[in-house]
Amino acid sequence: MTDIHDNPLDAPNADPFEIAARAAADIARLTGVEKHDIALTLGSGWGKAAELIGETVATIPATEVTGFSKPALEGHVGTLRSIRTPGGRNVLVIGARTHYYEGHGVRRVVHSVRTAAATGASIMVLTNGAGGIRETWQPGQPVLISDHLNLTADSPLEGAKFVDLTDLYSQRLRDIAHTVDPSLDEGVYTQFRGPHYETPAEVQMAKAIGGHIVGMSTALEAIAAREAGMEILGFSLITNLAAGIQKTPLSHGEVIEAGKAAEPVISALLARVVEAL
Ligand code: HPA
């Protein structure tokens, strides 16, 4: 059992991959599922997908798994769930995300992704709630992530690891998602550090450098997933138009509400995409 004050990832000589392997062994023991094929991180608005993907084999509190932190926010469910799809694949659903803005370091942020890889998953599906820069987008709309801009000035990689990110958000997986829903739009995800929302000037900067989506989670996770050799699919739920694009002030309550309202539709979409992967 680990908690926010006692996490093996924080030890000076910790090897994050060895700790991820221990976490994967905990998951195998607690779920009875030796190997997972696909992993899914469910961000705000995407939670209901877990029920639609298949039959839940086991649900475990993330705090029972080595290296996982307690959830910082209400509404961020701290559980891991093993689901068997109708097609017979094992999906690990991660409902416990540590955000960069929590200030516990990037190792903790990407531990769930490294653990997913250590359970055997070869595909990592990352989802989030985010702000939209494109004025044609509506709150409640899901968009595929085509690429990212990492504005955290940090990396989950430690040491001289020169990982290629050319096709970070797999074209193959995006093609599958488009087959399931041809109306899906795509955009470049821009990760800010948060937890404050962006200023209108920052949103204009993100737009000028090629961003379409603003958020606080996915880019660092995607880099770690690629380092671990996984294929990545990213989805953002546009919960609001970004600051200054939307003329009214942003509130966390509005973001959560938009997520709740969109949840049935986008969760069903995600379940169909997972079945098609
Ligand atoms: N900016 C950053 N993160 C977010 C936003 C936003 O506008 N909406 C939901 N998460």
Domains in the chain, please, with CATH?
A: 8-276 (3.40.50.1580)
**Residue in this structure with the two tokens 């550090």, named with its chain if needed:** 193
- Residue 132 sits at φ, ψ, to 5 deg, of -105, 135
Task: Check: CB of residue 131 under 8 Å from CB of residue 211.
Answer: no
Mutating to test ligand 1, I would choose from 207, 240, 247 the residue with most ligand atoms within 8 A of its C-beta, which is 240
pLDDT exceeds 50 at position 1: no
| Each residue's pLDDT tens digit, 217-262 | 999 999 999 999 999 999 999 999 999 999 999 988 888 888 888 9
pLDDT exceeds 60 at position 75: no
Question: Which residues are part of the catalytic machinery?
Answer: 198
- Which atom of ligand 1 sits closest to the CA of residue 131? 7
Residue nearest to atom 10 of ligand 1 (CA): 130
User: Distance from the CA of 232 to the center of ligand 1, in angstroms?
Assistant: 21
In this prediction, residue 270 carries a pLDDT of: 95
Task: Check: CB of residue 30 under 8 Å from CB of residue 115.
Answer: no
User: Is 240 assigned to a binding site?
Assistant: yes
Mutating to test ligand 1, I would choose from 100, 250, 266 the residue with most ligand atoms within 8 A of its C-beta, which is 250
**Residue in this structure with the two tokens 């000035």, named with its chain if needed:** 153
In this prediction, residue 74 carries a pLDDT of: 55
User: Distance from the CA of 120 to the center of ligand 1, in angstroms?
Assistant: 31
> Ligand 1: which residues within 6 Å by Cβ?
129-131, 197-198, 214-216, 239-240, 242, 250, 255
- Residue 234 sits at φ, ψ, to 5 deg, of -120, 135
pLDDT band at 203 (very low <50, low <70, confident <90, very high): very high
The three-class DSSP label of residue 131 is strand
Write the CB contacts of 66 (distance below 8 Å, at least 6 apart in sequence).
2, 8, 19, 22, 23, 26
